[in-house]
Amino acid sequence: MIKIVVDLMGADKPANELVSGAIKAINENKDLTVVLCAKEEVILPVLDTLTYNKEQVEIVNCTEEITNNDIPTKAFRKKPDSSLVKGLNICKNDPLAGGFVSCGSTGAVLVSSMFILGRIGEVRPCLACLLLGNDGEFLISDCGANVDCKPEQIVDFAKMGVAYMKAKGIENPRVRLLSNGAEEKKGPDAIKEAHQMLKASGLNFLGNVEGKDILASTCDVVAADGFGGNTVIKTIEGTAKALFMDLLAKAKASTSEAEALVLKKTVKELMAKYDYNTLGGANLLGVTKPVIKGHGAGEAETFYNMIKEAYALAKGNMIGIMEKLLTE
């Protein structure tokens, strides 16, 4: 049995609108239990309307909520009865707990996870986002947690990304390094040094990749500093949104109702493909349990995808693989 701890508070939508995503996840996996952290009076009426195995659900009543108005470095101490803090403590102390998911304040989730769960050794944790390219899923690691990075930290980001993809079933993940050119001499000093370190790391390192080639690249992990990785993520999102809005405008202007429906359906499918929330949100790698942070505007389906992802990482022993790689 694997438990996934779910923080149902702190998101834009109320917990009662999100809980169905957790129930959908357990109904698909009989060896999965969800630990729902929220106000009992909010989620119990909704749970009463749903069909599920009650042995697969644990409810933790929480009377406090951490919001975007709270200071991340102080919130986990000032609000010990919040869903975020209680949930992370359960994740830390319950040996069956395989991961934690939340759509709460990004800063609070990151800081609280590092303080409560703790880091793996001395590694600097990073954020990693799973995206869909022409060659299937790939992971960008780091995508926003660290701006100024040392070469050895970028190598650690690559190793943590490899552990993630191994847990997902890829035996020997292919790694590339984000740079402004494919040649190994391209990029700032930290990137050039990281390139040489990756060549000697024993990882399946295939060289640099430029931003324009990421979606078409044949790799499983893109190692990056947080500034570059975040820029890529935001550029992909912004470009995709602009193209999709243009397609929708053409659909509305179409004289054919059938053509308009086809275009709208295509746009919806493409938007889901390039939205990392569809694939499970952003992963905090480098702490002692899998932690997935979804968008604040996440819905029930977002929680379903995050829980499903955390469950897969726990079953695939991501933390064990990561600990081994980081000590090599």
221 backbone dihedrals φ, ψ, rounded to 5°: -135, 130
**Residues 5 and 94 grouped into a single domain:** yes
**Residues 276 and 129 grouped into a single domain:** yes
Q: Return all residues near 17 (Cβ < 8 A) that are at least 6 apart.
A: 299, 300
Reduced DSSP (H G I as helix, E B as strand, rest coil) percent helix, strand, coil of the chain, to 5: 50, 20, 30
Helix (H) or strand (E) holding 44: helix 40-47
**Residues 5 and 91 grouped into a single domain:** yes
**Residues 39 and 5 grouped into a single domain:** yes
Q: What average pLDDT does range 37-54 have in this prediction?
A: 94
Q: How many domains does the chain have?
A: 2
107 contacts 72 by C-beta, under 8 angstroms: yes
Tens of pLDDT, residue by residue over 292-318, are 999 888 889 999 999 999 999 999 999
User: What's the CA gap between 80 and 66, in Å, rounded?
Assistant: 10
**Residues 131 and 274 grouped into a single domain:** yes
Tens of pLDDT, residue by residue over 180-198, are 988 888 888 999 999 999 9
DSSP string, 80-148: TTBHHHHHHHHHHH-TTEEEEEE-S-HHHHHHHHHHHT-BSTTPPPEEEEEEEETTEEEEEE-SSS-SS
Higher pLDDT, 248 or 57: 57
**Residues 85 and 156 grouped into a single domain:** no
- Residue 184 tokens, joined: 């190994």
Q: Identify the band that residue 250 occupies on the pLDDT scale cut at 50, 70 and 90.
A: confident
For residue 24, give the nearest of 291, 263, 311 by alpha carbon.
Answer: 311
Tens of pLDDT, residue by residue over 79-118, are 999 999 999 999 999 999 999 999 999 999 999 999 999 9
**Residues 327 and 273 grouped into a single domain:** no
- Which structural domain, as residue segments, surrounds residue 42? 1-123+286-328
4 contacts 32 by C-beta, under 8 angstroms: yes
**Residues 115 and 129 grouped into a single domain:** no
Q: What is the CATH number of the domain that holds 135?
A: 3.40.718.10
Q: What is the pTM of this model?
A: 0.91
**Residues 235 and 258 grouped into a single domain:** yes
**Residues 230 and 147 grouped into a single domain:** yes
Name 127's bridge partners. Answer: 284
